[in-house]
Structure 1
Amino acid sequence: MENLSELIKTLRERTGAGILECRKALTETNGDLEKAIDLLRQKGIAKAAKKAERETSEGRIGTATSSDRKRVSFVKLSCETDFVAKNELFADLVNNIAKVVLDANTDDINKILTLPYPGGKGSIDEQIKELIGKIGENMQLQEVAIIDAKKGIIDVYTHLGNKLAVMVEIHSDKQDVEELTKLAHELAMQIAIDNPDYICREDVPADIVDREREVIKASPELASKPDAVKDKIVDGKLGAFFGTCCLLELPYMRDGNLKINDVVSETSKKLGAKVDVICFKRASIGK
């Protein structure tokens, strides 16, 4: 038999089958590539390859959080239809992959695909291929991320049937996990709704602020205004701009009279210690 690893690679490319499946097929056919392809087709495994070019615009995001809330994994597994994205087998698959990723602490997709799937069911790649053959839709592991808390705790919120997931890290010198987790969850929900780009106005790059300021200044409604009045109007409109792109300046979803910064301050008062929003990540299917 010629180089087995090369044969396995070629067979995988032509059929989309998993590594172990290809190895078994080549062993049973004494290294005959075409016969191995036919064997995989007979077993219903190779049909996954025929679907490999189909667009996968639907899917689901799986997450897993460590018990100490210091690490979280994001896994984006795509499929072709919303119907499959809601399938229990598909949901179990993406959630289990997220757990494996968290334990393995890697975001290398190629490496992840070779890792053992929970329950001794071969590799993750083989499990994906098996479900492709069973359900009849293409699936792809599109994105993986591992996020380590810099100094705080993490909470995750998922929405729209796990088509949207948000992670928020917050920190306080007083580690009241229950209160901090509650606040982080509220912030994650707010981010899911409003999709801000930054935590606070100080995070907005100067060139973006300058560009927005110039756009405001060029507005026809300011042309006849005195400079002093014009400057006040510009500052006011810049404030409104920050109120759309900065998390802490967003109107609170449960009370429009409050800003998110007020909600954070309230938790700070309750804890008797400053609370800081460290970072956030928002991921969605199709984005």
Structure 2
Amino acid sequence: MKTEIDAKIVKKLRDETGAGMMNCKQALLENDGDYEKAIQSLKLKGMATADKKASRNTNEGLIYSYIHTGSKLGILLEVNCETDFVARREEFSDLAKNIAMQIASNPDLTSVSMEEIPDSVKEEATLFESAKDDLKNKPEEIKNKIVAGRVEKTLKKQILLEQEYIRDSNITVNEYIKQVVGILGENIKVARFTRYVLGETSN
């Protein structure tokens, strides 16, 4: 017997996920009307779509400015997509706002991805971890693995895409972006960001 899908449930799923009406209906049908399973299905499909589109050029987008309550902290953020049409979509602006708020919430962030962290910073962190007393009597191979793991853990605290997303602790910022890619159907990348704190000046 075919599962009957209530149009109100389809609309609710669309409002929550941002996916198209037909995609929402199909997700509910595939999961026998189970709402939570349909949400997970749409999220997984969005991430798979994002991986396929990751190599596409992103020459459009927007510069988004966010001023935190009290006007003592500001974020300037560039987010790129493939077309001007998507750059004007409300979902794209919402993504930029959410990411800007993520940056505002974490003063330790310095880079978008691991690739942006300078080799000199990685080398300094490696030297620091290698010199710790608890590693002195470890075999070289094990010591190197421990150091590499600790360095990665330390550097991830500085990377935007690796952070736990402030609006859903079950996913990272990178996974959140992939979900939006699945909704909008275009590759999306965070290009750069700058954090402004009142009274702070760069050298």
Equivalenced residue count is 138
Return the alpha-carbon distance in structure 2 between the equivalents of residues 237 and 256 of structure 1: 22
* TM-score of the two chains, using structure 2 as the length reference: 0.63
Return the alpha-carbon distance in structure 2 between the equivalents of residues 257 and 234 of structure 1: 27
Runs of 5+ consecutive residues of structure 2 not aligned to the other structure: 1-58
Return the alpha-carbon distance in structure 1 between the equivalents of residues 105 and 195 of structure 2: 11
Q: Which residue of 2 aligns with 1:224?
A: 137
The 8 Å contact of residues 250 and 259 in structure 1, kept in 2 or not, is answered as yes
Return the alpha-carbon distance in structure 1 between the equivalents of residues 183 and 141 of structure 2: 41
Show the 5 A alignment for 1:67-82. Answer: none
Show the 5 A alignment for 1:17-32. Answer: none
Greater shift, 236-245 or 191-200, is seen at 236-245
* Percent of matched pairs sharing the same residue: 30
Runs of 4+ deviating beyond 6 Å: none
Could you say what secondary structure the match of 2:169 adopts? Answer: strand
The 8 Å contact of residues 164 and 173 in structure 2, kept in 1 or not, is answered as yes
Deviation at 1:213, TM superposition (A): 0.7
Look at both structures and tell me which one has the larger radius of gyration over its CA atoms: 1
Q: Which residue of 1 aligns with 2:70?
A: 161
Q: Is the alpha carbon distance of 1:259 and 1:242 closer, same or farther for their aligned partners in structure 2, counting shifts above 3 Å?
A: farther
Return the alpha-carbon distance in structure 2 between the equivalents of residues 239 and 258 of structure 1: 19
Q: Is the alpha carbon distance of 1:257 and 1:228 closer, same or farther for their aligned partners in structure 2, counting shifts above 3 Å?
A: farther
Higher strand share: 1
The 8 Å contact of residues 243 and 251 in structure 1, kept in 2 or not, is answered as no
Deviation at 1:178, TM superposition (A): 1.3
Please list the CA deviations of residues 38-88 of structure 1 after superposition, one character each: whole Å capped at 9, or x if unmatched. Answer: xxxxxxxxxxxxxxxxxxxxxxxxxxxxxxxxxxxxxxxxxxxxxxxxxxx
Coordinate RMSD, CA, aligned = 1.7
Matched, 1:206 2:119: yes
The 8 Å contact of residues 60 and 82 in structure 2, kept in 1 or not, is answered as no
Between the two structures, name the one with larger relative contact order (CA 8 Å, sep ≥ 6): 2
Show the 5 A alignment for 1:83-232. Answer: 151-174=60-83, 175-176=85-86, 177-195=89-107, 196-232=109-145
Return the alpha-carbon distance in structure 2 between the equivalents of residues 219 and 161 of structure 1: 42
